[in-house]
């Protein structure tokens, strides 16, 4: 297999484009894809500071690397989730990446905030992934607002977005489909713009980019992700993709072109402010304060039971 | 060939030389869901793996 650009031996096969690249040309191709996504979708401009949500995995570290190479001003945001050795290793890799490149990084330890994911899940009997999603959304919004940035970038890739789209379509979650876009504009004074610059690139491509750029990312998966619904959707899409390359890309791109404008018209009224923390909320209190309230009350009940 | 699967850290052996696509087929792995690595080199589906080679097959699909 030869590189599409320079005809040298190829290392990366990009099936959805029926192309292959050598190492050097793949890096150029990948960075151009990200830059094109940023410009075409008007994600942010060169004079804005971009907060990058970084987990320590391949996607977010690859994203941070590309944004740095492209010359954007970035600050990393890492949530240490408190999920045992997995979280410790993820935090170590994120901090090492930032230190090696001299990049600013904000780290928040959820354990110190009294809401490590095992605690949130354990006290509320919710699936860990549900509690994790609520906590992440809350801290991303809060910390981006407090930092004063106007944009928050996440490492969601083509596979993440196609799997999410499949899940939303299978359940016809109209309100979710109305918000499934690589650029989410703020609908509350404490929201910032949320963007997904990797939405055109597959999970294989982000992993290959991390590998050829020698990014030391966390290879282990979150122990809570075993059996996650998203993996079922990804598997279904990958089986189709193996027979019909380009399906995932067309599924997402055609939704954004044809479906999204229709669903976006049905968007709910903007959120109110949470009576507890002031962050956006669709009820009297936001999902995170409601979760914390549940944890605090269970914790107090257990403490009382232990004393009696 | 000696194969190390990540993140499971499991090792297995397949005899003979094969194209990467054939190795993946034998292991029931879909193309595009793993990276196949030999030393510092990424291998495409059409690359040949020699009987005496050691390769790493690293899962790229994450979820949760």
The one-character DSSP state at A308 is -
- Contact with chain B for residue A256, Cβ under 8 A: no
User: A136-172 burial, b if ≥16 CB within 10 A, otherwise e?
Assistant: bbbbbbbbbbeeebebbbbbbbbbbbbbbbbebbeee
Can you tell me whether residue A75 is helix, strand or coil? strand
| A125 CB-near residues (< 8 Å, 6+ apart) | none
Tens-level pLDDT at each residue, chain A (308 residues): 999 999 999 999 999 999 999 999 999 999 999 999 999 999 999 999 999 999 999 999 999 999 999 999 999 999 999 999 999 999 999 999 999 999 999 999 999 999 999 999 988 888 899 999 999 999 999 999 999 999 999 999 999 999 999 999 999 999 999 999 999 999 999 999 999 999 999 999 999 999 999 999 999 999 998 888 999 999 999 999 999 999 999 999 999 999 999 999 877 678 999 999 999 999 999 999 999 999 999 888 888 888 87
| Reported pTM | 0.95
User: CB within 8 A of A2, min separation 6: which ones?
Assistant: A8, A9, A10, A20
DSSP state of A213: T
Q: What residues are paired with A9 via a beta bridge?
A: A2
Average pLDDT in chain A: 95
ipTM of this complex:
0.97
Return the half-sphere exposure (C-beta side, CA atoms, 13 A cut-off) of residue A19.
Answer: 14
Residue showing tokens 């030999």 = B38
Helices (H) and strands (E) in chain A, counts: 12, 10
Single out the residue of A211, A11, A266, A120 nearest to residue B59, CA to CA.
Answer: A211
**A-B interface: how many C-beta pairs under 8 angstroms?**
80
User: Looking at chain B, which residue has its C-alpha nearest residue A227?
Assistant: B64
Give the distance, in angstroms, between the CA of residue A276 and the centroid of all CA atoms in the same chain: 26
Pairing of strands B34-38, B54-59: antiparallel
C-alpha to C-alpha distance for A189 and A280, rounded to whole angstroms = 8
A39-42 contact pairs (CB < 8 A, 24+)? A41/A182, A41/A183, A41/A195, A42/A183
Do B45 and A13 make contact, defined as CB atoms within 8 angstroms?
Answer: yes
Could you tell me if A13 lies within 8 Å of chain B, comparing CB atoms?
A: yes
The alpha carbon of residue B40 is apart from the nearest alpha carbon of chain A, in Å, by 9
Model confidence pLDDT, tens digit, residues A107-122: 999 999 999 999 999 8
Task: Measure in Å the smallest separation between the Cα of A170 and chain B Cα atoms.
Answer: 18
Q: Which of A80, A41, A303, A78 is nearest to A198 (CA)?
A: A41
- Summarize pLDDT for A42-57 with one digit per residue, the tens: 999 999 999 999 999 9
Residues of chain A in contact with residue B30, where contact means CB-CB under 8 angstroms, are 238-239, 241-242
Please report the pLDDT score of residue B64 as a whole number.
58
Which uninterrupted H or E stretch holds B4?
A: strand B2-6
């Amino acid at each position: 297999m030869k590189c599409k650009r320079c005809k040298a031996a190829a290392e990366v096969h990009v099936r959805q484009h029926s192309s292959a690249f050598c190492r050097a040309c793949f890096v150029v191709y990948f960075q151009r894809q990200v830059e094109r996504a940023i410009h075409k979708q008007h994600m942010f401009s060169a004079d804005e500071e971009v907060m990058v949500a970084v987990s320590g995995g391949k996607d977010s570290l690859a994203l941070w690397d590309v944004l740095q190479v492209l010359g954007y001003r970035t600050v990393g945001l890492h949530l240490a989730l408190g999920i045992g050795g997995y979280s410790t290793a993820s935090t170590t890799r994120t901090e090492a990446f930032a230190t090696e490149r001299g990049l600013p990084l904000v780290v928040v330890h959820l354990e110190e905030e009294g809401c490590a994911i095992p605690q949130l899940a354990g006290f509320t009997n919710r699936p860990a992934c549900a509690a994790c999603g609520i906590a992440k959304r809350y801290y991303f919004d809060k910390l981006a607002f407090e930092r004063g940035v106007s944009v928050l970038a996440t490492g969601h890739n083509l596979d993440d977005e196609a799997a999410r789209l499949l899940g939303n379509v299978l359940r016809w979650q109209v309100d979710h489909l109305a918000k499934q876009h690589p650029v989410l504009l703020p609908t509350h004074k404490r929201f910032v713009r949320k963007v997904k610059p990797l939405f055109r690139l597959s999970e294989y491509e982000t992993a290959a980019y991390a590998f050829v750029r020698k990014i030391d990312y966390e290879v282990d998966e979150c122990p809570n992700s075993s059996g996650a619904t998203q993996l079922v959707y990804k598997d279904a899409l990958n089986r189709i993709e193996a027979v019909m390359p380009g399906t995932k890309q067309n599924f997402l791109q055609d939704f954004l072109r044809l479906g999204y404008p229709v669903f976006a018209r049905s968007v709910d009224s903007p959120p109110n402010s949470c009576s507890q923390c002031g962050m956006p909320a669709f009820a009297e209190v936001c999902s995170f304060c409601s979760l914390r309230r549940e944890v605090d009350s269970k914790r107090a009940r257990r403490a009382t039971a232990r004393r009696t | 060939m000696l194969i190390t699967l990540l993140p499971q850290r499991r090792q297995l052996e397949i005899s003979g030389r094969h194209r990467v696509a054939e190795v993946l087929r034998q292991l029931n792995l879909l193309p595009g869901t793993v990276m196949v690595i030999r030393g510092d080199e990424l291998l495409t589906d059409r690359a040949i793996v020699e009987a005496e080679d050691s390769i790493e097959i690293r899962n790229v699909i994450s979820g949760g």
